[in-house]
Structure 1
């Protein structure tokens, strides 16, 4: 279908409970000169029509894009279910994105895959959604046109394009996107860690401090070991696919999520030690010095994530020149000055210094 055959640039589908938000978006999009199918504007056109056929025709044939405003109310209503079926039927026939989902809450809709790029309606605001629709409509749309830009996606819309086209190494481009996305979701916790901020928490009796610190060291070792397991070939092969086989988008996102969960756990571990309230200045200094054991692993994960994205930004061009092989070591170590600070505080408590814990893995 040629672009000139569309009666509407965009058709919106939403629940009545969300009308005020959607109406503001529609008003802004129309003000930019685009034709929008909005039920309130079509009262005369739909007067006397069989609405099940009329709306199916709009969503399946007459609009260039369908913007779906997803919420609990949207999922619950039979009429929006009818509209959704028409939108999904059209989306199955399109070579490029047709459904543009906007989330108004965390509701998951049957038939709408979690891997489809979406925008957060509350985060973007009505003006942000209207601007995004305008930008989407200004992009050329033809079935034979490649729109993948050759780099790691930066937006949900670019994720949708990547998954629609699936170029070589798309699995690693998607993995890089999710790593950065999920890492940046924890910016506040990272800033707390940088500032060494912690609110006083668990009281620890003086005779329990050494046992507590050794138990926490064991937990740190278990955490780094889990990270190493996630970098193993088995976990990657399951998510990314064996050579010659496609990856699984859901598992790729989940693998990234679990890796960043380790990053978050390391920050939580350091926070717990800094917030502990033992008796005595030496014990307090020992636990705070121990908390700094997490700093290098935290920064190493950040270095890996952003470095991996930078390298994947170049992978498309490099693959055009031939096959690419890469490996990377991620090593967790304890810097000498951090270990010495902890050792001094530990010696004041009695037992000899404890060694460092490290792990490395080729990726």
Structure 2
């Protein structure tokens, strides 16, 4: 029979046996679809020829409502919001997470992942079909710019929260036996953050292409379909689970 100290405590076993299950691959799927065209002779708004790159251009789109403005506005708020976050240096909390006890640090891994899961759930809710439909409009009903900007800003806020979460985990003060586990935990947010960056990049590129085509010929049918899939690296989660098990046995 092994030494009692070599066995995971109940809290450690809980983390190993399933408390990571809230963060899984393929957790979020959202879609943005645009289908726009104009008949010859139709009176249509002017085309704003690119996705906004500044707050002033965002304000212009809100006030002037150019062609397909809800999607132009949405892509612009996302582009400017992510750019501004990435330009800012990472902020370390004044009171970093601190655990003098190894078991307490390991036990806290589950609440940390729950916190990340909550952020991801907030992001998922922004793709609610009814909210998106009301924001972007339907045939015979215009979109609502406040809802469009609210959706985009909530998505940017979720990205920023993931970034702050990763920093707080990475800078936590924990016993040396748990350093590796916390380092791995901090990287769980990397892939969903990267997925958001890819989504925004594809959206901005697609809307810019659509605007360029529309500037040349508004009578053509303009179709844009962008999917946002947020995933988590299951190999990383598996490595993290093993590391937590190892940390529970170290002295």
Match of 2:150 among 232, 251, 254: 254
Partner of 1:224: 120
TM superposition shift of 1:167: 3.6
Partner of 1:303: 198
TM superposition shift of 1:147: 6.3
Partner of 1:345: 243
Does the 8 Å contact 1:148/1:161 carry over to 2?
Answer: no
- Asked if residue 176 in structure 1 is aligned to residue 72 in structure 2, the reply is no
TM, length-normalised to structure 2: 0.69
Q: Aligned-residue CA RMSD in angstroms?
A: 2.7
* Corresponding residue pairs, total: 200
- 1:88-237 alignment, distance < 5 Å: 148-189=47-88, 192=90, 201-204=96-99, 205-237=101-133
TM superposition shift of 1:262: 0.3
Partners of 1:296 and 1:155 in 2: CA distance: 27
Partners of 1:241 and 1:200 in 2: CA distance: 45
Partners of 2:147 and 2:94 in 1: CA distance: 36
Unaligned ranges ≥5, structure 2: 1-44
TM superposition shift of 1:161: 4.5
TM superposition shift of 1:327: 4.2
- Asked if residue 324 in structure 1 is aligned to residue 223 in structure 2, the reply is yes
Partners of 1:295 and 1:285 in 2: CA distance: 16
TM-superposition CA deviations, 1:145-204 (whole Å, max 9, x none): x86443212244544553454344210001100111111221245x649xxx88882211
- 1:279-318 alignment, distance < 5 Å: 279=175, 281-316=176-211, 317=213
TM superposition shift of 1:255: 1.5
Moved more, 223-232 or 163-172: 163-172
Partner of 2:170: 274
Does the 8 Å contact 1:182/1:260 carry over to 2?
Answer: yes
SS of aligned partner of 1:278: coil
Distance 1:261 1:155, change over 3 A: closer
Does the 8 Å contact 2:163/2:189 carry over to 1?
Answer: yes
Unaligned ranges ≥5, structure 1: 1-145, 352-363
Distance 1:238 1:202, change over 3 A: same
Does the 8 Å contact 1:198/1:274 carry over to 2?
Answer: no
Does the 8 Å contact 1:148/1:158 carry over to 2?
Answer: no
Does the 8 Å contact 2:52/2:58 carry over to 1?
Answer: yes
